[in-house]
Amino acid sequence: MNIRHWVRPEVLDMAGYQPGEQPDAARPFIKLNTNENPFNPPPAVLQAWADALDFGRLRLYPEPSARPVREAAAAAYGIDAAQILVGNGSDDLLTILLRTFVAPGECVAVPEPTYSLYHSLAQLQGGRFVGVPWDQAWQLPVAGLLASAPKLLIIARPNAPTGHAVPLPLVAELCQRTTGVVVLDEAYVDFADDNGLALLRDHANLILIRTFSKSMAMAGLRIGLAFGPVALLEQMHKVRDSYNVNRLSQVAAVAALEHLADYQPFLQTIRHERQALTVALRQRGFEVLDSQANFVLARVPPGHGGGRWWLETLRAAGILVRYFGNDPSLVDHLRITIGRPEEMVRLLEEVDRVLHG
Ligand SMILES: Cc1ncc(COP(=O)(O)O)c(C=O)c1O
């Protein structure tokens, strides 16, 4: 029997999302490839985890809707707990969104380049994926996005892998002009100057998603939050796994939400290092976009190898960065996560060695 007989055509046809490399812990790479936080969570958060963990209770299922997390997030962000849905990372929330709102054949529109998981999930759902190039100067292509009458529009703000953040009034305009649902993916928003929370008050078709994987240094625990109108979240609850957030992660997320202020010094350092790296790479001939996230997108200088060559050269020197070789618009670009100050020094030393021998 041919495998084509068994597997859904949508699955056969999709390439599948390619996550960044997670090397063996024994190998001492400087890891600048998957936008994790280079700092551990603040000591008060680690202590709260240690105090709250009760391994004996792991034989019991977790609270199905992660109510403790929703309540802690409601207090932290000043919205109602009913307006919050918790996911096993924000990738889980994206899966839930696609499954809730996109029927086979319906359109999902995104500006591109962006987070490529959106495409994979739309394919999996049998949706029609429309990637609209960003307008000049990375502006939101409002007309282009609306042209295909999408059922779901997804805007990453700040965007990955560019790091830029479109103006919030354009997001509001999109919400007003579309008949579909708008998802604002705020995975990197804690590194940005502003966020879209206030837009929720005015738009019944807007859902925000956030993650604890980046700013909160909890990528290994898999926690994401969706904020949105109760009527939409009620439908999403029906779609998610009954126990989609495990007990340990719920405990950890509550502790992090109760100590949000303790993260500020770390976030400030990352913003500072982002600016310093942008300047330093520009001085060395890289073209670097201004970023509002915890990474920068840099076009490598001419006259040496291309993007893949830089990726491999840095890897050989023990530094992992991200390269999106199968996107023609990103050839010769590297996405570099902001690491600890000493890691940025090592990166620049290696860049100098490449450039000047
Ligand atoms: C734009 C964007 N959204 C969502 C995610 C997923 O984050 P997680 O599933 O770890 O919450 C990522 C991760 O790289 C991302 O870049």
* Nearest atom, ligand 1, residue 223 CA: 11
Q: Is the CB of 332 under 6 A from ligand 1?
A: no
Q: Is the CB of 160 under 6 A from ligand 1?
A: yes
Q: pTM for the complete prediction?
A: 0.96
Q: What does the pLDDT read at residue 18?
A: 86
Nearest CA to ligand 1 atom 12: 187
Q: What does the pLDDT read at residue 222?
A: 97
> Rounded CA gap, 157 and 144, in Å?
18
pLDDT tens digit sequence for 120-163: 999 999 999 999 999 999 999 999 999 999 999 999 999 999 99
Full set of structural domains in the chain with CATH: 3-41+263-356 (3.90.1150.10), 43-259 (3.40.640.10)
> Rounded CA gap, 350 and 357, in Å?
10
Residue 129's DSSP bridge partners are: 108
List of residues 6+ apart from 303 with CB closer than 8 A: none
Nearest alpha-carbon partner for 289 in 357, 348, 335: 335
Q: Is the CB of 159 under 6 A from ligand 1?
A: no
- Name the one residue in this structure whose structure tokens are 């809707």: 65
Angle between helices 341-356 and 307-316 (to 10 degrees): 120
- Name the one residue in this structure whose structure tokens are 């126990």: 243
Q: What does the pLDDT read at residue 141?
A: 97
- Name the one residue in this structure whose structure tokens are 């963990």: 53
Q: What does the pLDDT read at residue 110?
A: 98
Q: Is the CB of 213 under 6 A from ligand 1?
A: yes
Nearest CA to ligand 1 atom 2: 187
Q: What does the pLDDT read at residue 237?
A: 98
Cα(95) to ligand 1 centroid in Å equals: 12
CB 14 within 8 A of CB 124: yes
Residues of the chain with pLDDT under 70: none
Q: What does the pLDDT read at residue 48?
A: 85
* Nearest atom, ligand 1, residue 94 CA: 4
Q: What does the pLDDT read at residue 93?
A: 98
Q: What does the pLDDT read at residue 174?
A: 97
Nearest alpha-carbon partner for 321 in 25, 40, 17, 35: 35
Q: What does the pLDDT read at residue 57?
A: 87
